[in-house]
Each structure stands twice: as C-alpha cells, then as structure tokens.
C-alpha cells in the first residue's frame, strides 16, 4: 500500500503546529507544509500531487487547507477540486485556524444542551454571536442557519462590517443571517434582549458580556464561550463548564474546554476518516458538524 501523505496549504507565513500535530497523531505517515500559498497557486500544487501517484493512490493523498479566513479557505477548496482530473483525485479537508471544527463543536454542544435541558432543537432559536467578524463566528452562524436557527452577528465596531459578512453568507449559502451593532454596552445589551442562545467567539482574554449584561437576556437558555484565557468572554462561564447553571439563574453555560474537547475529537476524527476511506473525500464545516453532533452525544 502507498504511504499516506498530507499536503498542508496555508496563505499565512507559518502552518499551525496544532494542525501538524493533529495530522501526525491521526496517522499520516508524511506531512509537509506549503506556506504563503495564493489562490492561483493552489491548482498547480494540486496537480503536482495527483499526477505523481497512480489514481488508486488518490485516497492515500490528502490536501489540508488552513489559514485564518473561512471564505478564503472555501475558495481554495473550490480551486483544488477544479484542479482534479478524474480519476486523479485526492482528499481535501478545510479547517482554517481550526475554526470549522471549533464552530461545529460549539454549535453541537449548544444543540445537545437545548435538547437535554429544554427538550428543544436549533430550529427557530435566536443565536446571538459575538466576535461576529471572526472565523469561528462565521462558521457558527452558517451552521446555525442551515440547521434552522436565526443567527445574529454582532459587530464590536458597528454594524457595517458584519452586514457585509452576512451578505456574503447569503450569496454563498443562500441563508439569512442578521447583523447588528455591538459597539458599546447599550448596543450589546440590545443585541441580547431576545436571545435564546449567546455565543462568544471574540478574541482571547477579552470580557464581552458581564453578569449585569446577562440580566438583559430574559429568554436566555444556553450561552457558550470559546475563550479559555482569563477573563471569560461571558461572565460566569468556567472553562470546564458543561451545561452549568449561569449565575443569573437563567440558562446554562458551556465553557471553552468543553467545546475544545469535542473540537479536538472532531478534527482528529476527520483526519482518520480520510485515512480509512477507499474513496477521496471533500470535508468542510458541514462534515465537521455532523461528526461533532455524534461526538457530543
């Protein structure tokens, strides 16, 4: 059997050591990184990878798309797929900044909490997402909308930037995502006034919502924070919290390490799925979410 090879592509200066470790621990025998990769360079790199091996070895060759931007990664996936010349096809797996698996894990944990604590699912839930211009927020919003929820992106610097992101989501996925202003305490409190779910995907170590802010979310059922660096993004959510009651007495909280456990197992699981499959796979956040739901239970 041909050796398993993973080609890791990123537009950034460095490939993430986290992703390299995950790929090697999952079982890839050879892992090599290509940095500073532009969109136009994806096609030639992909064709070098497919034509240097027999067609039956395509399932022993993987392409991992990294970076820090969800739409750039999706464009790279599209360019890679267009470069294939069947039967010369390889695996493709996109997870820029670990965001596809992190966002998938976050929504999967929320889905589990809604089901176990409230007997409800995602459809119809108003999910208010802070860090709205970031990549984890992007993924969480798209997954939520696909699953029937009503996502809302909150912009820390106003509404304009998140409105443009919501518009690109509409164009790319034909989904509706609301965008609101979150610049200032009053705006943040207005954003959560009708929230069923609050997600914090802002920068590490930045406090976004205080305990007093949460008093302005009377409908809140579940809140989740992916920030593991003190202070918490949402006050009162411990990093280890797994459906722990919130200090306000309304709803439950899910902490960064509870999300991270599912994220870690999801990314590892998708790498192993590539290694186990006899046919080339193309994996993105939708595949990550389906697996994360299984893992979350």
Give 256-269 pLDDT, tens digit per residue.
999 999 999 999 99
Element spanning 136, H or E: helix 135-146
Taking all residues of the chain, what is their mean pLDDT, rounded to a whole number? Answer: 96
* Mean pLDDT calculated for residue range 278-285: 97
pTM summary value: 0.96
For residue 209, the 8-state DSSP code is B
Query: Six-digit token pair at 291?
Result: 């697996």
Per-residue confidence (pLDDT) for residue 247, from 0 to 100: 81
Query: Six-digit token pair at 109?
Result: 């944990």
> With 80 as the cut, is the pLDDT of residue 188 above it?
yes
* Mean pLDDT calculated for residue range 140-163: 96
242 confidence band (pLDDT: 50, 70, 90) = very high
Query: Six-digit token pair at 179?
Result: 């965008």
Closest to 2 measured CA to CA, from 49, 58, 86: 58
Closest to 130 measured CA to CA, from 81, 183, 77: 183
Per-residue confidence (pLDDT) for residue 248, from 0 to 100: 77
Alpha-carbon distances, residue 99 vs 110, 217, 242 (angstroms): 16, 27, 20
How long is the chain?
Answer: 297
Structure confidence by residue, pLDDT tens digits, 214-235? 999 999 999 999 999 999 999 9
| Angle formed by the axes of helices 135-146 and 285-296, nearest 10° | 80
């Amino acid at each position: 059997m041909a050796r398993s090879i993973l080609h890791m592509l990123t537009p950034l200066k460095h490939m993430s050591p986290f992703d390299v470790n995950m790929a090697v621990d999952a079982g890839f025998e050879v892992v090599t990184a290509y940095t500073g990769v532009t969109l136009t360079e994806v096609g030639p790199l992909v064709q070098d990878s497919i034509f240097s091996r027999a067609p039956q070895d395509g399932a022993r060759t993987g392409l991992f798309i990294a970076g820090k931007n969800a739409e750039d990664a999706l464009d790279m996936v599209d360019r890679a797929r267009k470069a294939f010349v069947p039967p010369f096809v390889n695996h493709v797996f996109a997870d820029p900044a670990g965001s596809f698996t992190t966002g998938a894990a976050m929504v999967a944990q929320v889905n589990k909490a809604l089901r176990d604590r409230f007997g409800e699912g995602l459809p119809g839930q108003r999910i208010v997402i802070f860090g709205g211009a970031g990549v984890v927020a992007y993924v969480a919003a798209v997954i939520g909308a696909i699953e029937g929820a009503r996502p809302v992106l909150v912009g820390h610097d106003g509404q304009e930037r998140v409105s443009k992101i919501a518009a690109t989501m509409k164009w790319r996925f034909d989904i509706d995502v609301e965008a609101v202003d979150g610049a200032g305490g009053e705006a943040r409190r207005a954003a959560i006034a009708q929230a069923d779910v609050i997600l914090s995907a802002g920068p590490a170590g930045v406090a976004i919502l205080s305990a007093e802010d949460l008093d302005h979310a009377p409908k809140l059922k579940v809140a989740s924070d992916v920030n593991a660096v003190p202070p918490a993004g949402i006050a009162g959510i411990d990093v280890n919290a797994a459906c722990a009651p919130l200090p306000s007495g309304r709803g439950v909280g899910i902490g960064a390490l509870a999300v991270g456990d599912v994220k870690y197992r999801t990314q590892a699981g998708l790498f192993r799925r590539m290694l186990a499959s006899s046919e080339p796979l193309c994996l993105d956040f939708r595949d990550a979410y389906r697996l994360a739901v299984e893992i979350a239970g």
